[in-house]
Structure 1
Amino acid sequence: MIRLDSVVCQIVEKEFEPAEVDLSPDALGDCTTATADALTLLAGEFSAWSCTSETIRGQAALDRGGWWAADGVGETEIIDGTPLAVLAYGEAMQLGEMVCRSERSGVSCPATDGGHGFNLARADYLAG
């Protein structure tokens, strides 16, 4: 999910545990490195892991937050009967200072201001 000043990337399957230092100090509840499933980047800040109570997939629905596919910028995929906007492999999207690129090797979201960002894949991640 990309907004003018933030990016949240939720991962369903990961083959790693994030480093303790990368866990958000604001993570709620029983969020641990084992259960962390969302990497968040706020403009001007370091990326950090947290836990979500439910999937954020619905925010990519064309009638909610998946506007980029409705505008012809991205592609759509139907999951559980709902058309969702997806950022296809090889494509990038920028909104304000936030930019993300989708590749078969993972998702990268560097800050365009030269600040912090992250790379995320099923096998590993790099947060900064």
Structure 2
Amino acid sequence: MSEIVSYLLSGNNIEVEYQDGELRLDGDDHFLKSSRQLSEIDLTRTETEIGTLITGVLLDSSRNGTKVTISVLLPDTQFPAEVNTAEIKSVAIITDDYHHVLGSPPPVLYDYEIRPLTGTAFRTPQG
């Protein structure tokens, strides 16, 4: 029997839900003023030793050429048979990418904003 694991996380002015390959974001800052939904085709999924990194583009290019992405680290889970939820800690990383800034890029090509997240992983068994 397979299972689907969904995540509901929140932290510093951000709410994140990852379910069925879709990332839903809500917050109250510049790039997250309203709800955003990124589908599986808009996301990059990278398996790492510390979990799965889900990355999507928030802004492809600002007026000066800065690209803004969000990456959410989802910890691996292993549920005992009788357990369907687990409290987790995670992180969202909002990255400013200056590689294509108009004129010439600055000496440091990335700027990171780290937002700690806490929440719940949910297991849904599939028949």
Where is the strand percentage greater, Structure 1 or Structure 2?
A: 2
Structure 1-normalised TM-score? 0.30
| Normalised TM-score (structure 2) | 0.30
Question: Which structure has the higher relative contact order (CA within 8 Å, separation 6+)?
Answer: 2
Larger radius of gyration: 2
